[in-house]
Amino acid sequence: MKMFTTTRLAGMSLATATALMLVGCSSGSDSAESGEEFDVANGVATTYEFPNVPEVTLPPSNAALGDDDQELGEVGADPNKPYTAEVIPIGEDWMIATESRDNETVYAAFDPADGVVKTRITTGHAIWDDVVHVFTSDDASEPQAVAFEVWAPRGSRGQADYTVSTYSGNLLEPAEVLLPRHVRFHSREGSHTVSGGGRYMTSWDDQLFGPRVVDLDRGVLSGEQQILGCGPFTWPVGDKIYSVCENSRELIELTIDSDGKISETGRSEVLPEDFTSAREGHFAEEIASGFLINEAGDVYLFDFSDGLPTEEVTPVGNVGREDGRFHKNGVRPDGRQFFVEYTDTEIHPHSANGGDLVRIRLFDVDGARETQNLDLEKLGLDSIDSVSYNLDGSVLYVLGTAPGEGDDEGEDLPTVVGIDPATGEVVSTVAVTGHAGGSDGVSGLRAPERRAD
């Protein structure tokens, strides 16, 4: 862009000055390209200068985005070139953390052995919490992630798009299923699942008050069923989805048929009279059991391996403690152990003054017997962000912050600590590097999933 400066416009009318400026801009174009100064009428001196920007050149043939992979070339050769490339498959022993952005979330898959982020997948936000399932595989063409996304325009520029997107192969071209605008997928953990060998995404829906099914193979919303007083959990076993009905104290069975339609196929009134539900639930895959800790701290494990239970289900124990309020939790895949996070106050963590996470307790499912008490000092952390078992349950990982050393002294580094679930001993401590999390670093630790049959 050319710059125009005037040194004398005093005494002229606004119209005359404006006309002279326009004359100067147009008549000086030839001389401006050579950088020469020139005069216009009435002695107004003008100067054009070249802008201080790099020379613009056409991109090379391998830099354009397209259907084919392009060579990346040497590292650092030109960081501004956009490329498409085959994704890196996520290893079974890796872990996933998140980097939050204004309109999207980056899922950073890293190896906890060295803390280095190996691949990153970007998805859009859902309505509340993100609804995303990240999968492990050894084939880059297989789905890496399935996400329910809401793409909202700025201001009043039309309606939002509600999609379920499957990211695989080229992450820039996800397979999208456009959903009706009245879809409102519930987003708490455990309220949505991908089953049927990766074919169906099922989520409890707050607008419907029941589950909706998206057939990812056919790219359609294939089934929905209103079931008042039940949900929002979606525990999958084969073609079945199990959930709870709090008011009627029932467990419920739903079946997805070959057309992707869902229907109620059974109920069993086996919950105790004082049963209350919870905001999130988990699933012990190896024993096909739903796991739930309600707001009173009662711990439930629902065995769906043979269908609906027929005998009354009672809590395995209670995890309330006087020295802190319990928060998020998780169960090991074999269902033998679970963890609970605790704050440093008795106020519920959902409160604005809910305190900080300061310890993780491990429990045997048998009697909810506490086996380990892991505080910040033992973990070697300044803060705790999130906790998760790895995929096979052999390690419990804690993501938090730790003080940097050497060149990083004075900084709080995102750090993941590995714990032996059997002994509670620290087996690894590494900083998470290679992310682009900015000042917030990374958060929301989880293990990748296998696509359930």
pLDDT for residue 194 is more than 60:
yes
Q: Please enumerate in sequence order all residues whose Cβ is within 8 A of that of 173, keeping only pairs 6 or more positions apart, or say none.
A: none
Least confident of 125-134, 306-315, 435-444: 435-444
pLDDT for residue 82 is more than 90:
no
Work out the pLDDT band at 86, boundaries 50, 70, 90.
low
Phi, psi of 379 (to 5 degrees): -75, -20
In angstroms, rounded to a whole number, what is the distance separating the alpha carbons of residues 253 and 20? 81
Q: How far is CA 181 from the centre of its chain?
A: 22
Mean pLDDT along residues 416-433: 96
Work out the pLDDT band at 395, boundaries 50, 70, 90.
very high
Identify the pLDDT of residue 11.
43
Question: Residue 293 in contact with residue 310, Cβ under 8 Å?
Answer: no
Identify the pLDDT of residue 437.
59
> How does DSSP classify residue 171?
T
H or E segment and range at residue 18? helix 14-27
Q: Which residue has the higher pLDDT, 30 or 257?
A: 257
Identify the pLDDT of residue 411.
80
H or E segment and range at residue 377? helix 376-379
Write out pLDDT tens, residues 235-255.
Answer: 999 999 999 999 999 999 999
- The pLDDT > 70 percentage for the chain reads 76
Question: Residue 38 in contact with residue 84, Cβ under 8 Å?
Answer: no
pLDDT for residue 38 is more than 50:
no
User: Of the spans 53-67, 80-94, 109-123, which averages the highest pLDDT?
Assistant: 109-123
Identify the pLDDT of residue 169.
82
Work out the pLDDT band at 348, boundaries 50, 70, 90.
low
pLDDT for residue 351 is more than 70:
no
Residue-wise DSSP of 261-311: -EEEEEEE--S-TT----S--EEEGGGTEEEEE-TT-EEEEEE-BTBS--S
Give the Å distances, CA to CA, from 272 to 235, 264, 292, 295, 360.
Answer: 20, 22, 14, 15, 28
Q: The pTM is what?
A: 0.80
Write out pLDDT tens, residues 263-275.
Answer: 999 999 999 999 9
In angstroms, rounded to a whole number, what is the distance separating the alpha carbons of residues 210 and 21? 68
Write out pLDDT tens, residues 144-192.
Answer: 999 999 988 766 666 789 999 999 887 778 899 999 988 999 999 999 9
Mean of the per-residue pLDDT values of the chain:
83
Residue-wise DSSP of 311-370: SPP--SEE--BTTB-EEEEEE-TTSSEEEEEEESSSS-TTSTT---EEEEEEEETGGGEE
